[in-house]
Structure 1
Amino acid sequence: MITSDDELDAKLRQLFADDRLGGLQPKEGAGETIVAGARRRRNRRKTMTAAGGVAMASVLVVGGVTFAKVQERDTQAAMSTAASQAAASGAAPESTGGGGTALPAPPGQTSQSNSAPLTTSTTQKTTPTTAAKPDGPTKIMTGSLLGHSGLGNLTLGMTEAQLTAAGIIFAKESGTTCAFGKVTKVTGQVGDIRIYLSETAGVTAILPASSHTPEGVGTGSTVEDVGTIYKVPTNGQLPSVNLGTTSYEFALSNSKVKSVVLKANNRQGCG
């Protein structure tokens, strides 16, 4: 292999002087021209080789920088994903010794950290207790609502003609001038209702089988509750409760209200 321009020049001159050329002699200056051309081609190859090396080196440098950036971006993306998963699960990301955030360990490997081991807390169930009954009387709100002047469309003082006009049917069971009997078709009626009907005073008393007053006294109320609600002394018994022109009277059974009766204060001896 020819390693220098001088060696190439010597080889070419030796070739031109070779006897095997049959005495042929190149033109004057031809040798110099050939040697110069050979030198140019040799220099061109060196230049191309050098340029190729520089280009290759540039490619390697650029590729290395690009790979480093891609690797850094992938690392940051992985760290961000790990932090997001830890935040979504409510757990803190694992901490590395250098203050950074460690990526989750691959499957089959155990992630080591300096954090304390997780502990499982056991919450004891408590059995709810029934609230104590508040102080005060128990109010009854079952049965027909027996107001201070009547029940539904049935009111004290109504005549038999007025009962019929209101659509109430009266079935007399006893009496003449002071009749006693059962009424039906009364609005708000619950169970049987009986009345006293005077020829001169109209309806003087209403006796529902099951009822309660607007204040909450009714079938099942205790004597104490009635005395507390209406502020009357009881002594084991219940007096009538005066409402002005009407009154409540209570029928008792085993110290509890069995029924409530609404009466007109001016009954004229009926009921």
Structure 2
Amino acid sequence: MNESEDELEQRLRALFADERLGVEPTADAGPAIVAGARRRRRRQRALMASTGAVCALGLVMGGLTVFHLRAQDGTSEIAASRLTVDEPPVSVPESRPSTQVAAEPPSPAESPSDEIHASTPARPPTRSGTPASAAPPTKVTTGSLLTSDGLGGLKLGMTETQLADRGITLTNAKPSANCTYYDVQGAGVPAAVALVSPSSGVVAVKPDGIAHTPEGVGSGSSKDDVLARYPGTSTQSGGLVSPAGTDGSYHFTLSDDGAVASIDLHSTTQDCAG
């Protein structure tokens, strides 16, 4: 060591030994230092506790996220397996139990659309979105109009005197049991044959030629048309009998093909007409 270094060391020793550089501690310095140390330890403990809670929360959130992603992935795989026919069914995790039936792949000659069409029952054609129904009866309006009380001015129950007073003539009399058949002619009366009873007057009217009823049943109508228009129709030999008002009945004679050939009107209160 040279002289300059010795001098420097002596000066430093003198400087450090100087009392003016000394700092005297206060009386409460010890308790303050202890309290500060305690505060630092509490802060460190609180910081460590919060850091652990944050780490635990992060782990929980991470686990939930992974579980959610796996659940979504499993749901997507299940949905995809339902849309595809060739893929085998995807098993469902044990945490979400369910029953799933694997669809059998269609044969080469079939397709999913063919299976759908085959499983759908055939429906009859409809119009305007309503179910198909039977066609309404055909309404006949040709020929003479035979109502439930008579034909024009010729009415059931009229006596020969009443007919004469109305200008209706009775010709070609043909007795039958207690009654008489007449050819009827007169104003307002189509050509017809009437059966007249001495006690009950006109008990039957048969128009000449084609005729029809107010309900649209007449010559050419089918048996189904008669049944549809007149509930309570009964079947008799060679024809049908349908109610006509309260005191009469229509007698429909049917042809070989089942169509109406002629119509008679009979009174329900008579002693000679069949």
Normalised by the length of structure 1, the TM-score is: 0.46
